[in-house]
Amino acid sequence: MVDLDLGPLWLTLQLASATVIVLLLVGTPIAWWLAFTSSRLRTIVEAIVALPIVLPPTVLGFYLLIAFGPHGLIGGPWKDLTGSALSFTFTGLVLASTFYSLPFVVQPLHGAFEAVGKKPLEAAWTLGASKLDTFFTVASPMAIRGYLTAIVLGFAHTLGEFGVVLMVGGNIPGHTKVLSIAIYDHVETLEYAQAHMLSAGLLLFSFIVLLAVYSANRRLPLHVT
Amino acid sequence: MVDLDLGPLWLTLQLASATVIVLLLVGTPIAWWLAFTSSRLRTIVEAIVALPIVLPPTVLGFYLLIAFGPHGLIGGPWKDLTGSALSFTFTGLVLASTFYSLPFVVQPLHGAFEAVGKKPLEAAWTLGASKLDTFFTVASPMAIRGYLTAIVLGFAHTLGEFGVVLMVGGNIPGHTKVLSIAIYDHVETLEYAQAHMLSAGLLLFSFIVLLAVYSANRRLPLHVT
Amino acid sequence: MSQLAANFEVTFPTFHLKVSLAVPAEGIIAVFGPSGCGKSTLLRCLAGLERSSSGSMVLNSHIWQDESHGIFVPLSQRSIGYVFQEPRLFPHLNVRANLHYGWKRTSESTRHITLEQVIHVLDIERLLDRLPQSLSGGEQQRVAIGRALLTSPQLLLMDEPLSSLDLQRKREILPFIRRLDSEFHIPIIYVSHDLHEIIELAKTVVLLKEGTVVGSGPIEEVFSQLDLRHLIPENHLGALVDTTVAEQDQKFGLTKLAFSGGHLHVPHQPRQIGERLRVQILAKDVSIISSQPSFQTSVLNLLEATVIEIGKINIEHPFVEIKLDIGCPLLATITRKSLTALQLHPGQRVHAQIKAVALNPETHH
Amino acid sequence: MSQLAANFEVTFPTFHLKVSLAVPAEGIIAVFGPSGCGKSTLLRCLAGLERSSSGSMVLNSHIWQDESHGIFVPLSQRSIGYVFQEPRLFPHLNVRANLHYGWKRTSESTRHITLEQVIHVLDIERLLDRLPQSLSGGEQQRVAIGRALLTSPQLLLMDEPLSSLDLQRKREILPFIRRLDSEFHIPIIYVSHDLHEIIELAKTVVLLKEGTVVGSGPIEEVFSQLDLRHLIPENHLGALVDTTVAEQDQKFGLTKLAFSGGHLHVPHQPRQIGERLRVQILAKDVSIISSQPSFQTSVLNLLEATVIEIGKINIEHPFVEIKLDIGCPLLATITRKSLTALQLHPGQRVHAQIKAVALNPETHH
Amino acid sequence: AEARAAVASNFLATFRMLTSDFANKTPHQIVIISGSSGKLYAQIQHGAPFDLFFSADQHRPELLEKEGQAIKGSRFPYALGRLTLWSPKPNFIPVDGKTALTREDITHLAIANPKTAPYGRAAEQTLRSLGLWDQLTPRLVYGENIAQTFQFVSSHNAELGFVARSQVAGSHNQESGSHWDVPPTLHDPIVQEAVLLHQGGTNTAARAFLEYITSPSAQAIIHQQGYGIPDPEKTP
Ligand SMILES: Nc1ncnc2c1ncn2[C@@H]1O[C@H](COP(=O)(O)OP(=O)(O)OP(=O)(O)O)[C@@H](O)[C@H]1O
Ligand SMILES: Nc1ncnc2c1ncn2[C@@H]1O[C@H](COP(=O)(O)OP(=O)(O)OP(=O)(O)O)[C@@H](O)[C@H]1O
Ligand SMILES: [Mg+2]
Ligand SMILES: [Mg+2]
C-alpha cells in the first residue's frame, strides 16, 4: 500500500484560495486603472505587471528569498512592522504566489474591463449608482468571464506552482509544504506510485472543480448574442 | 569578468516564438469553438484545457517524458511517422511548452471572442466576407487585446518555464538548454554574478519588448470608449 | 416579372414567426407593424442569419434557401445588403475602411454604386478618417447605409435605416434610395415606423402582426383595405391617384396633373409632360362642399364628386370617413357635425375640395 | 420660476460645442437640430458625463456644476434620468432587474413614479423576465425609458427616446411623458428629429446648429421666427393659439374653444369648461376666402381675418406665407396663383378657413 | 570525440573544472547536462541521449545498472560529499558545532530535504547522532537540494544550515562567516557514484573521461573543491 499524507493538500488549497483572494484584491484595481486610464504610465505599468513570469520560478524565488529576508527590501520593513519574518511562512508564500501569478489575473481582467467599456458605467451612474456600486453591480458582473479566467488561471497556477513556493517556503511540513512539492518529492525519490496517485487526485479534483465552475458560469446570463 | 554563454538565449527565443506560434494556431480554433458552440461538451473541453497548469511543471514534465518516450502514447506514433524521437528534441520542447501554456492562450482568446459576439460577424457576412475572411478581418482585430494577453502570457511563460522544459528537453546545450535553465544552473552552482546578469538581461529585454508591444497596441484604434 | 418568394418559421421562447411571402421583387417593399411584431426577425430570415428547418427563399431565379432540398447558400455568396437596426460598424476600422469592407469584396463587374456617389449622397466626406466610436448616432447610421450600398447587392434589407436622421437628411437620402431600384434594379425590403417614409417610398407593403403577415400587396390596395385600417393611423389614411403630367405653370410654380376624373394642381414638379406620377391625397386634406361655390377661394383643386359610401359612425369618435368617386376613389374625413349639416347620402353629387399643398406626389416607375 | 441655466464648452478634434442656455425648467424642452450638431453632446454635458474646465449647470437652486468655484456634483448624486440614444440596458440583468436598478437607488420619499405605472404605460409586462439581448429594438427602447423614469429624477434627459417605436406606441407613451412635468414636476430635455413629436410635446425649444444655440425660447416664438424658418420644415410652420374650453358638444363629439378672436371647433377633448388649451394651426391647413361664403361647407372653423403681412415671394417657390390677424396671429400658406386670384394686400378683410381635424391641441400648463 | 555527461547539480561547478581540464589534456569534449539526480534518472530511463551519469548518490546508478540502462560493472564512486555547518555570520559557529546548534537565537536551521538529497539525509543523521533532531525539527527548513539550502543561509533567512563543504570551500566562493566541518563519523558517507550508460559504451570520449576522473590531477581538483576522495578499495 502506498501511504499518502493529505496535509499538503489542505495547505495547498488554503494557499491557492488565499492567493486568489489577494490576487483579485490587488489585481482588480490595477486592471481597472489600466483599462480606463489615459495616463502615459499605462504601458509601463502594463509591462511591469507582466514581467515576473519571464523569470524561471526558482530564480524569481531566489530573488524573492533575498527580498523577503530579514535584511531584504520587503522582509526588513515587514519585520519591523509585524515583528515576524516573511520567508518560510504561509504569509510569505501567499505574497510570493501573488507576485508571481499577478499577470494571470491582471491581464484577463484588463481585457474584460476594456470590453465592458464606459457606456454601461455611465448608464449606471445616471441611475444613481456610485462608482463603487457600479463596479460591483455592473462592471464586475459584465466582466464575469474575465474573472473566471483570472480565478482559474490564478488558482490553477498556484496549485501547480512550485519553484517560487519551494524557495520562499522552505518546504516545512504543515506550514509551507504544499502538494506540488510533495508530488515532486515522490517523483524525485522514485516513488512513482505515490506520485501517480497524488497527481491523479489533483487532476480529478481540479477537473471536478473546473467543471462545476464552468457549468455554473454557463448558466449565468452573460453570453454571446 | 563573468563569462556568459548566449547560446541559451537564442534557443529560448526560438522556443518561445515557436511555442507562441503553435499556441496561437492550436489555441485559436479551440477558443473560437468554446466561444460560439452550444455543444454540451463545451464545459468539459473548457475544464480539460485548464488542467495542465494544476500539475507541478516537473511532474507534468515527468508525464510528458513518459508520453513522449519512444514507447509513449505520443512519442511512439511520432517515431513511426517521422522516424525520430520527441523527447530531448527541440520539437518535443515546443510540443511540451504548448501543452503547458495552452490555457494561457485559450482562456483570454475565449473571453475576447465572446466579447466580440456574433453581431459584427453577421455584419461582415452580409458584406460578402466568408467565415475565414471574417475571422481575419473582423473577429481577430476586434479580439486584439485577447491576442495581446495570450501572446504576452504565452511568450513570457515559455521564457520562464522551466520544470517541463528541463524534464522533457534534457538540458542539452545547444539543443534544449534554454535560458531559464542556464540561469537556474548559475544559481545552483552559486555563480550569482552570472545569474544576476542573465536575469537582468532577460528582464530588461522582456521589459523592452513588452513596452514596445503595449505601446503599439495603444496606438491601435480598438480602445475603450 | 421578378418575384421574391419566401417561407419561414422561427420559434423563440415567447414568439413565433410564420411568414409566407410572395411579392414582386421591384422597388421598395415596406415592412410595417408594431414593435416586436417580427420585422427584424423576418429580415434576418431573408438574409439567412436565422435558419429554420423548413425555410425557403427565392429571389427571381436565385434559390438562396430551400431546406426541403437541402439548399442553403452561405450568406457571403448571397449578394444581400443589410442595414441593421443598430449601426454595427466595425470598431477597429475607420469610416473609409468600413465603407471599403463590402466594396472590396464585390466583384468589379457588379459594382454599380460608386464610392463617390455614396459619400456624396450621405454627406460623409468629412467623416472618412474617423473611427465609428467618435461618430454621432446619425453619422453612424449614414455610414452603415453607405457600407451596405457599396456591395451593390441584388437585394437590400434595411431595418429602420433613417430612424435617427433629421428631416433634411432624410430628404437628401430618400430620393437616392428610391432610385436604387429604377437605376440599379435593387429591390429593397424596408422596415420603417414612419408612414411618411413608407408612403413616399413603397410600392409594396407587408403588414406584420405578431409574427404573421396580415396583409401584403401594392401599397394603394393595402392602405385602403377596410379591415387593415386599425393598423394605419388615421391621419395617414388616403387615396392614391395615378396621374400624368399635363401642364407646367411656370408663372405660379405649379404643375397640372391629369387623371381619370379631371385635373389636380400640385407644386411644381421637375417632370416631362406626359410623365406618370402617383399622388396621395390624405383623407384629412379633403373637404366636402355641397354645391359649386360662386366665390373665389385659395383652394385650387375643387372637383366634382359622388358620395359612394359613408363610413361607420362611432359615437365616441367625432369623425366620419366618406368614400367619394371623382373618376377614381377618393377618401375624405369630415366631422359628424358637417355630415349632419351637409345631409350627405350615397349617390349625392358634391364637390371635393383639396388643398394643393397637401398633395404628396411620388414616382413609382 | 424654476430655471435651468447651463454653460458648456467641449472640443473634439473636428467639433466644437459652445452652449449657453437659460430656459425655464418646466415642461418639455426640445433640443432640435441636424445630425451631428451636438445634441447628444449637450445632453452628456448636462448629465455631467462630459466635463469641461469652464462648465456650469444650475437647475433651480441646485448648483450641480460650477467649475469656477470647483463645484462638480458626482453623477450619482444628481438625480438626473438619462435615456441614451442607444438603449444601454445591462446585459447581465433581466428586464425586471434593469428596471429595478435605478429604482432601488432612489430614496423612497422621492419615488413618485411607480413600477406599475411604468410597466403599464410602456406595456412591458410580458418582457419582465427576459434578457435585453433577446428583445427587439423597440422593446429595448421602452425598457430603457422605463428604467430612467423609475429614478423619479429632478431632470430627465431623453435622446431620441421614441425613434424606434411605432406610432401606436408613441401615442400611448407621449401623453405619459407629457404628464411627467404636470404631475411630478419633472422637466424634460428631449432630443428628437420628429417635429410632430416636438410640436406635440414641447413648451420650449432649443435649436442647435454646429455646436451653437441658434435659437431658444417658447416654441411658438421660435417656430414663427422668420430667420429660423429654414430650420423648420415648411409643413410644420404654424401659429400657436391660446384658448379656453368654452363648450362640450356631446352630440357631435366636438369641443368648442374660445380665444381672443372667436371660437374654434376641435375634436372632443376630455377637459373641464374653462380649462386652458394651446392649439397649433399649421399654415398649410389655413385657406383664405375673399368673402363670407353663402353656402354650406364641411369646414367648421371659418373666421374673420385681416391680412397683416404677405411673405416673401420667391419665383422658384409656388407658395406664399400670409400672416393674418384673427384676434391673434395666424399663418396661412397659399399658392401664388391664389394670391393673384384673391388680389390680397395688407389690411384686406378676408375669411380664414381652418379644417377642424387639422387642429393639434395641446396642454402646456 | 564528444560525450554527454549528466551531472547532479551539486557537483556541477567542480565538474565544469574537470571537463575543461580534460578538454585541455585530451582531444575530447564533454557536454554537460545538469539536473537533480532524480530527474536525470527519470530521463535516462526514458531514453535520454546521455553517455555518462554522475549521480549525487549511489542508489540511482545502482538501479540503472540493474535495469540494464547502464553498462554492468562500470559503476564507481567518484567523490565523497562533505557536510559543513555554515553561517554567513562570523563567529556564529564556534569550534564545536554542537554549541552553535543549541543556541537560543536560531529561528531557522536549513538542511536539504532528507528524502531527496543525500546531503539532507546526512544532515538528519548528524542531528540524530548529536541527539538534537527532535529538539530542532520545529526550526528546520528544507531546501529541495543542497544549492537551495545554501541560498536559505546565504540570504540570512536561516541563521545557519548544513551545506556542502564544496559550497563553502570551493574556489568559486569566498563566503565569509563561520563554519564547522561535520565529522564523517556522524553520518553515513555521502558517496557519489558515476556510471557509464549504454549509449556511451562505444563512445571513446566517455571512456577516456572515466579514466581521467580517477587520475591524480582530477582527484586533486575534486579534493580542492571540498570533496573527499573515495577509497578505491571500496569500489564494488
Ligand atoms: N468622442 C468624440 N470624439 C470626436 N468627435 C466626437 C465625439 N463625440 C461626438 N463627436 C462629434 O461631435 C459632433 C456632435 O456629436 P453628437 O453626438 O452630439 O451629435 P448629435 O447632434 O447627437 O447627432 P445625432 O442626431 O446624429 O445623434 C459630431 O460631429 C460627432 O462626430
Ligand atoms: N433571440 C431572441 N430570443 C427570444 N426572443 C426574441 C429573440 N429575438 C427576438 N425575440 C422576440 O421576437 C419578437 C420579434 O422581434 P423582432 O426583433 O423581430 O421585432 P421587430 O418587429 O423588429 O420590433 P422593433 O420594431 O421593436 O425592432 C419580439 O417579441 C422579441 O422579443
Ligand atoms: Mg426590429
Ligand atoms: Mg445624438
Express each pLDDT in B17-31 by its tens digit: 999 999 999 999 999
pLDDT < 70 regions, chain A: 1-6, 218-225
Residues within 5 Å of ion ligand 3 by Cβ?
Answer: C 40, 85; D 136-137
Give the closest residue to B28 by CA, choosing from B121, B108, B118, B83. Answer: B108
Q: Look at strands D238-249 and D276-282 and give their pairing.
A: antiparallel
Q: For residue B224, what pLDDT is reported?
A: 31
Q: For residue A225, what pLDDT is reported?
A: 27
Dist. CA D49–CA C325, nearest whole Å: 59
Helix (H, G, I), strand (E, B) or coil at C270: coil
Confirm if D216 and D23 have CB atoms less than 8 A apart: yes
Confirm if B104 and B146 have CB atoms less than 8 A apart: no
> Is A57 within 8 Å of B211 when comparing Cβ atoms?
no
Determine the distance in angstroms separating the CA of B29 from the nearest CA of chain A, rounded to an integer.
17
Q: Which residue has the higher pLDDT, A176 or B115?
A: B115
Please give the distance, rounded to the nearest whole angstrom, from the Cα atom of residue C137 to the centre of ligand 4: 5
* pLDDT for D226 beyond 70: no
**Residues in chain D, total:** 365
Determine the distance in angstroms separating the CA of B167 from the nearest CA of chain E, rounded to an integer.
7
**Chain A stretch 180-219, residues whose beta carbon is closer than 8 A to a beta carbon of chain B:** 180-181, 183-184, 187, 195, 199, 202-203, 206-207, 210-211, 214-215, 218
CB C16 near ligand 2, within 6 Å: no
Ligand located closest to C139 CA = 1
> Is B123 within 8 Å of C131 when comparing Cβ atoms?
no
Q: For residue B1, what pLDDT is reported?
A: 38
CB C15 near ligand 2, within 6 Å: yes
Alpha-carbon Rg for chain B in angstroms: 20
Residue whose CA is closest, atom 17 of ligand 2? D136
Q: Look at strands D155-159 and D80-83 and give their pairing.
A: parallel
Q: Do chains A and E touch (3 or more CB pairs under 8 A)?
A: yes
What percentage of residues in chain D have a pLDDT greater than 90?
Answer: 36
Q: For residue E125, what pLDDT is reported?
A: 94
**Chain A stretch 54-93, residues whose beta carbon is closer than 8 A to a beta carbon of chain B:** 54-60, 62-63
Confidence of residue D297 (pLDDT cuts 50, 70, 90): low
Q: For residue A222, what pLDDT is reported?
A: 47
N-term to C-term CA, chain A? 53
Q: For residue B13, what pLDDT is reported?
A: 85
Q: Identify all chain B residues contacting A219, using CB atoms and an 8 Å cutoff.
A: none
pLDDT < 70 regions, chain C: 1, 223-237, 253, 291-299, 316, 355-365
Confirm if E82 and E165 have CB atoms less than 8 A apart: yes
Strands, E, within C153-203: which ranges?
A: 155-159, 188-191
Residue of A13, A34, A44, A54 best to disrupt the B interface, most CBs of B under 10 A: A54
In whole angstroms, what separates CA D24 from the centre of its chain?
14
pLDDT in tens, E10-35: 888 889 899 999 999 899 989 888 88
Q: For residue B112, what pLDDT is reported?
A: 93
Lookup: cell for D229: 424658418
| Residue type, position A110, single letter | H
Contact D250/A at CB under 8 A = no
Subunits next to A (3 or more Cβ pairs <8 Å) are B, D, E
Lookup: cell for B16: 518561445
| Residue type, position E72, single letter | K
Q: For residue E233, what pLDDT is reported?
A: 54
DSSP string, B170-223: ---TTTT--HHHHHHHHHHTT-HHHHHHHHHHHHHHHHHHHHHHHHHHHHSS--
Give the closest residue to D86 by CA, choosing from C356, C85, B117, E74. Answer: C85
Q: For residue A1, what pLDDT is reported?
A: 39
Handedness of CA B126, B130, B134, B137 (dihedral sign): negative
Dist. CA C323–CA C352, nearest whole Å: 11
Q: For residue D201, what pLDDT is reported?
A: 78
Q: Is the ipTM of this complex over 0.90?
A: no
Dist. CA C79–CA D139, nearest whole Å: 30
* pLDDT for D67 beyond 60: yes
Q: Look at strands C329-335 and D28-32 and give their pairing.
A: unpaired
Q: For residue B225, what pLDDT is reported?
A: 27
In whole angstroms, what separates CA A144 from the centre of its chain?
17
**Residues in chain B, total:** 225
Q: For residue A28, what pLDDT is reported?
A: 96
Q: Which residue has the higher pLDDT, D338 or D40?
A: D40
* pLDDT for D362 beyond 70: no
Residue whose CA is closest, atom 6 of ligand 2? D134
* pLDDT for D62 beyond 50: yes
* pLDDT for E143 beyond 60: yes
Minimal Cβ distance to D35: which of C86, C136, C159 = C136
What percentage of residues in chain D have a pLDDT greater than 70?
Answer: 88
Lookup: cell for A106: 491582471
Q: For residue D365, what pLDDT is reported?
A: 32
Give the closest residue to D36 by CA, choosing from C135, C132, A17. Answer: C135
Q: For residue D230, what pLDDT is reported?
A: 60
CB D137 near ligand 2, within 6 Å: yes
Dist. CA E196–CA E194, nearest whole Å: 7
Q: Look at strands C204-209 and C28-32 and give their pairing.
A: parallel
Q: How many CB pairs under 8 A join A and D?
A: 69
Please name the residue of chain B whose CA is at the shortest distance from the CA of residue E167: B190
Residue of C72, C92, C130 best to disrupt the B interface, most CBs of B under 10 A: C92
Lookup: cell for D108: 423612497
Q: Which residue has the higher pLDDT, D233 or D207?
A: D207
Give the closest residue to D154 by CA, choosing from D2, D333, D258, D357. Answer: D2
Q: For residue B180, what pLDDT is reported?
A: 77
**Residues in chain E, total:** 236
Please name the residue of chain C whose CA is at the shortest distance from the CA of residue B122: C49
Q: For residue D356, what pLDDT is reported?
A: 54
Confidence of residue D364 (pLDDT cuts 50, 70, 90): very low
Residue of D44, D51, D92, D159 best to disrupt the A interface, most CBs of A under 10 A: D92
Dist. CA D323–CA D224, nearest whole Å: 10
CB D346 near ligand 1, within 6 Å: no
* pLDDT for D286 beyond 60: yes
D214: phi then psi, degrees, rounded to nearest 5: -100, -5
Lookup: cell for B71: 514507447
State how far the alpha carbon of B190 is from the alpha carbons of B183, B193, C246, D90, in Å. Answer: 11, 9, 105, 57
Q: Which of C241-250, D195-204, E154-163 has the highest mean pLDDT?
A: E154-163
Q: Identify all chain A residues contacting B57, using CB atoms and an 8 Å cutoff.
A: 57, 160, 162-163
Please give the distance, rounded to the nearest whole angstrom, from the Cα atom of residue D75 to the centre of ligand 1: 21
State how far the alpha carbon of B217 is from the alpha carbons of A42, B143, B204, C256, in Å. Answer: 12, 12, 20, 64
> Is A149 within 8 Å of B108 when comparing Cβ atoms?
yes
- Closest atom, ligand 1, to C-alpha of D37: 21
∠C11-A222-D78 over CA atoms, to 5°?
115
Neighbouring-strand partners of residue D156: D81, D188
**CB count in 10 Å sphere of residue B150:** 30
Dist. CA C332–CA C311, nearest whole Å: 10
Determine the distance in angstroms separating the CA of C122 from the nearest CA of chain B, rounded to an integer.
19
CB C137 near ligand 1, within 6 Å: yes
Element (H, E) at D112: none
| Residue type, position D221, single letter | E
CB D235 near ligand 2, within 6 Å: no
Q: How many CA within 13 A on the CB side of residue C166?
A: 20
* pLDDT for E124 beyond 90: yes
Give the closest residue to D95 by CA, choosing from D50, D117, D128. Answer: D128
Lookup: cell for C275: 410623365
Element (H, E) at C36: none
* pLDDT for D358 beyond 60: no
DSSP alpha helix (H) spans, C187-309 = 195-201, 219-224
**Residues in chain C, total:** 365
Determine the distance in angstroms separating the CA of B148 from the nearest CA of chain E, rounded to an integer.
34
Burial (CB count <10 Å: 0-12, 13-18, 19+), residue C304: middle
Determine the distance in angstroms separating the CA of A82 from the nearest CA of chain B, rounded to an integer.
30
Residues of A with CB under 8 A from a CB of E: 58, 62, 65-66, 68-72, 75, 85, 87-88, 166-167, 170-172, 177, 181, 184-185, 187-190
Confidence of residue D361 (pLDDT cuts 50, 70, 90): very low
pLDDT in tens, D71-118: 999 888 888 999 999 999 999 999 999 999 999 999 988 898 999 989
CB C136 near ligand 1, within 6 Å: yes
Strand order in the sheet with C301-310: C286-289, C349-354, C301-310, C319-325, C329-335
Please name the residue of chain A whose CA is at the shortest distance from the CA of residue D155: A126
Using most ligand atoms within 8 A of CB, pick from C9, C11, C18, C40 the residue to mutate for ligand 2: C40
Helix (H, G, I), strand (E, B) or coil at B57: helix
Q: For residue A2, what pLDDT is reported?
A: 45
Mean pLDDT of B154-168: 80
Q: What is the pTM of this model?
A: 0.85
The DSSP letter of residue A135 is: I
Lookup: cell for C28: 421598395
